[in-house]
Structure 1
């Protein structure tokens, strides 16, 4: 699949780029994408610090009062949750969310996510800006018709000036090619790739 390379302002640049159909031309499958997104979100979940419950507290288990005549309840030990220093009643427990997913499924999911954005895919030569300012970049995006949520993926590293200018633009996110993932690609309306990003992504799967 051939795509015309553009400038950031939407004007056509010199040349075209051939996109690998094995990466950008697959038919997306909802079940594969769902599995990969679920895997990503599960692995992002934080783990609560477990509280010490009644069985975890090191306090005496000896009956500390008389059964009758003391004027108080008939407690058996100091581990009860109602006492200071006692165990926590129904406290948070440690839960592990590190689910596993086959590498082939993860790779296939990323290919399908890239393929799903083929109709809204923009390939630019580079992210070099003459004026690395947020206002100037917003005007450039408006001129190019890039509205809504836009994900920009660069090569080995994101262009520093572009990243700084895009930092305050609502709905615009920037990632290096190594950080490309299914969840971020699917939740944006438009995908913008640099020539270096295309090369990195295709090499990632061919390697």
Structure 2
């Protein structure tokens, strides 16, 4: 699959690059996509939820009222869950939500996500670029020139670039990542991928290993 390479001014360079069919042209696996997205979202959960159970409540151990003769139920502790301020029954406890997935399935999920975007013509290739200093206006101008400013975009660079990252940080609908950190959830949750020429090679090397 051949796609045009654009400049940051939004003009075609007259060159094209070939998208690897083994990465951008496979039949997407819905199961792999589901499992990898589940893994990514699960890893974002802190798992620090906690409520106090009966044994952890700090209240008096004195018997609430006498056993017989009150006409009411028998009560032996105010820590009981049936009392206001008592412990929670089977409340949440801290635990992790780690979902283990083998590397082969993770690679298949990323390829499936990229192939889906390629089939939707939602991938644009741009010449490598950088900024002398962080400036949101310059980054926004690139998006406008490429006619993707009104879409949720994911900009993929080959390596870390602080000036580009800082320029994009205030834009709610755009995110900058480097090729080695690109994941399935980022791909499918964006409307368009803007990939730099050098990042394309990094993606190929990463997913064909």
TM-score w.r.t. length of structure 2 = 0.80
Shift of 1:71: 10
Give 3-state SS (helix, strand or coil) of 1:128's partner: coil
- Measured after TM superposition, the shift of residue 51 of structure 1 is 2.5
List aligned pairs for 1:113-132, cutoff 5 A.
113-118=113-118, 119-129=121-131, 132=134
SS at match of 1:93: coil
Residues 33-182 of structure 1 mapped to structure 2, 5 A cutoff: 33-56=33-56, 66-68=66-68, 74-77=74-77, 79-81=79-81, 82=83, 87-89=87-89, 91-118=91-118, 119-129=121-131, 132-146=134-148, 147-157=150-160, 159-182=161-184
Task: Provide structure 1 residue ranges, at least 5 long, that are not aligned to the other structure.
Answer: none
Partner of 1:197: 199
Once the 2 structures are TM-superposed, how far is the Cα of residue 180 of structure 1 from its aligned partner? 0.7
Taking the aligned partners of 2:39 and 2:155, their CA distance within structure 1 comes to 23
Tell me which moved more, 94-103 or 59-68.
Answer: 59-68
Cα distance in 1, alignment partners of residues 73 and 7 from structure 2: 79
Tell me if structure 2 keeps the 8 A contact 1:154–1:193: yes
Q: Cα distance 1:123–1:96, how it changes in 2: closer, same or farther (>3 A)?
A: same
Partners in 2 of 1:131 and 1:87 — Cα distance? 56
Q: CA deviation at 1:186?
A: 0.9
Q: CA RMSD in A?
A: 3.0
**Equivalent residue for 2:20?**
20
